[in-house]
């Protein structure tokens, strides 16, 4: 009998590990699974039909071309350009005029603008004694480029592929397991937001390209806001419909003299096992991340560099739809509280044999 080689053993182990990983990915329950099971069990106990769980989609973000800020180029005449050859500014401006420089992604354009502001400050100081006229002109350039820097920062947030994916294209619904990198992702969002302060009046700090791109990668790999917003939309739509359908059904359940019937106890168990144990924890995550990110959304909504269409999208998801989701949760819980109180039941874990 032939014995497997060491290579074949390794290959077999890798295949087994891959299978386990894939099985774990496909077997993970989502909040949609919980809602589906919740409705199916309630429908079975009540012998009725209840709303299906249909996954909603987020409305699209406005096209990048519509909400993009126009950025002025720094135009320098040949005489001044040659006067700057001993200064790094000449080289940086020349970089922008190459074919690669003209096709910069939003992140690289922002990094370039921060570098341009930094060398403007350095060159201006160097030329204050030798060429006062050119130094004064650089003051004007600096003022304009500070404005352009903020516009570039807003363009990064509104038009970059990384952040648009994170705001509008969730790869999955929010779950307890997806919370692993959530807080890191939130920190990355605030890091990207803080970059607008690097072009301060008294100090200009060039953006560290490697760190900046790493933060963007974290944002797009987690896509926390989009996952959170799609999940809150799913919960709002499904629970609103479910509460509406359940209200007359639960009211029809008899609990004579406040004594719970077997059906009432079974309904309480279904409520606990699926809503309390599975749906509500995901809702708690939504609340947690919502309040952590809310200062960021409020700052963006107040910032003049963002387009009105972009602000409308952020306001709809972070405020309007969050309130709708919160109301749906509250209404659903209130319905069950009334039913449990009428039947002298508490939302406790069912007794297991």
Q: What is the pLDDT of residues 40-69, one digit of tens each?
A: 999 999 999 998 888 899 999 999 999 999
> What is the mean pLDDT of the segment spanning 121-143?
78
- DSSP code at position 253: S
Alpha-carbon separation of residue 255 from 46, 163, 249, 326 (angstroms): 15, 53, 13, 30
pLDDT score of 143: 85
Residue 114 has pLDDT above 80, yes or no: yes
pLDDT score of 97: 62
pLDDT score of 77: 61
Q: What is the DSSP string of 275-309?
A: IIIIIHHHHHHHHHHHHHHHHHHHHHHH-TTS-HH
pLDDT score of 4: 41
Q: Can you give the C-alpha Rg of the chain in angstroms?
A: 29
Residue 25 has pLDDT above 90, yes or no: no
Residue 167 has pLDDT above 90, yes or no: yes
Q: What token pair was written down for 257?
A: 């003299």
> What is the mean pLDDT of the segment spanning 265-290?
96
Q: What token pair was written down for 223?
A: 């896509």
Cβ-proximal residues to 324 (8 Å cutoff; 6+ apart), any chain: 236
> Of 44-53, 75-84, 150-159, 327-336, which range is least confident?
75-84
pTM: 0.85
Residue 5 has pLDDT above 60, yes or no: no
> What is the mean pLDDT of the segment spanning 154-164?
97
Cβ-proximal residues to 184 (8 Å cutoff; 6+ apart), any chain: 218, 222
Q: Please, is 334 exposed, middle or buried when counting C-beta atoms within 10 Å of its C-beta (0-12, 13-18, 19+)?
A: exposed
């Amino acid at each position: 009998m032939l014995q497997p080689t060491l290579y074949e053993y390794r290959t077999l182990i890798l295949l087994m590990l891959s299978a386990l990983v894939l099985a774990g990915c496909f077997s993970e329950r989502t909040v949609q699974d919980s809602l589906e099971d919740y409705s199916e069990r309630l429908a079975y106990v009540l012998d009725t039909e209840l709303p299906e769980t249909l996954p909603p989609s987020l409305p699209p973000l406005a096209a990048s071309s519509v909400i993009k800020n126009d950025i002025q180029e720094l135009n320098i005449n040949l005489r001044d350009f040659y006067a700057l050859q001993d200064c790094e500014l000449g080289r940086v401006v020349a970089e922008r005029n190459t074919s690669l420089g003209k096709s910069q992604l939003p992140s690289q354009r922002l990094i370039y603008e921060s570098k341009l502001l930094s060398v403007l400050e350095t060159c201006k100081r160097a030329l204050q004694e030798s060429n006062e006229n050119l130094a004064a002109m650089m003051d004007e350039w600096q003022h304009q480029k500070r404005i352009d820097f903020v516009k570039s920062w807003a363009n990064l947030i509104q038009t970059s592929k990384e952040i648009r994916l994170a705001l509008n294209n969730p790869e999955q619904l929010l779950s307890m397991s997806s919370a692993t990198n959530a807080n890191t992702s939130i920190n990355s969002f605030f890091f990207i937001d803080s970059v607008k302060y690097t072009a301060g009046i008294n100090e200009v700090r060039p953006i560290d390209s490697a760190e900046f791109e790493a933060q963007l990668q974290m944002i797009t790999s987690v896509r926390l806001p989009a996952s959170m917003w799609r999940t809150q939309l799913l919960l709002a739509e499904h629970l609103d419909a479910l509460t509406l359908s359940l209200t007359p059904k639960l009211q029809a359940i008899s609990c004579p003299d406040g004594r719970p019937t077997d059906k009432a106890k079974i309904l309480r168990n279904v409520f606990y096992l699926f809503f309390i144990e599975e749906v509500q924890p995901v809702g708690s995550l939504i609340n947690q991340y919502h309040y952590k990110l809310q200062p960021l959304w409020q700052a963006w909504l107040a910032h003049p560099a963002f387009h009105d269409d972009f602000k409308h999208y952020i306001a709809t998801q972070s405020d309007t739809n969050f309130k709708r989701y919160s109301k749906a949760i509250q209404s659903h819980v209130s319905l069950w509280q009334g039913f449990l109180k009428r039947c002298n039941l508490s939302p406790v874990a069912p007794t297991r044999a």
